Every structure is written in C-alpha cells, then in structure tokens.
Amino acid sequence: MTIKVRFFARFRELLGTDIVVTAQEGTHLLGLVKKIAEKSREGYDAIFDAKGEFREFVIVMQNGRRVETATAGSTPVTDGDEIAVFPPVAGG
C-alpha cells in the first residue's frame, strides 16, 4: 500500500515533505513515521524522545484528522492515507 507523509515547518526543513512510501499491511503510524525520520538524526530527535515515542508537543494527523500520539503505535495506516506531522501551530 502507498502512504503520503507530509512534514511542516521545522520538521519539513529537516526531513522534507510529500514523501510517498510503500508500507506493508499491518504497519502502524508510529513505526511508519519513525522509519522516515531515521534518515536524519536531527529530524528524528526533533520528533521523537529517547524512548522512541512522539514528543509531547508533536501533532499528528491522519487524513486531516488529529491522532492522539499516545495511540500512534496501535493506529494502523491504510492504502492512500495522508499522514501529517508538525510542531505546535503559530499562525495569526
């Protein structure tokens, strides 16, 4: 299955964006993002803590809907999903 991952703001600068990946059935959101982030040490450290969990302030969306990062390890991704990962918003 094919998944698109989009990073924004500082995460985009460190890891790029609109990354299309092929994932196996049964892949979970946490593992998918972690695998992509591992290409940049700085990018990985910006998003994940020492235990390999999403940092508290990181926001994750699946098809435009917020996903609780605490449950990302058990949230499956499905074909055609768009996953977005970004730091706290600062518009206005």
How many other C-beta atoms lie within 10 A of the C-beta of residue 22? 9
State which H helix or E strand residue 42 sits in.
Answer: helix 41-47
- Interatomic CA distance for residues 2 and 56, integer angstroms: 27
CB nearer to another protein: pick between 26 and 64 = 64
Q: Based on CB atoms, which residue is closest to another protein, 25 or 90? A: 90
Interface contacts to another protein, rule CB under 8 A: 6, 8-10, 12, 56-57, 59, 61, 64, 66, 84, 86-92
Q: How many residues does the chain have?
A: 92
CB of 26 to another protein, least distance (A): 27
- Shortest reach from residue 50's CB to another protein, in Å: 19
Least separation in angstroms between residue 25's CB and another protein is: 26
Reading the block at residue 28, the tokens are: 């979970």
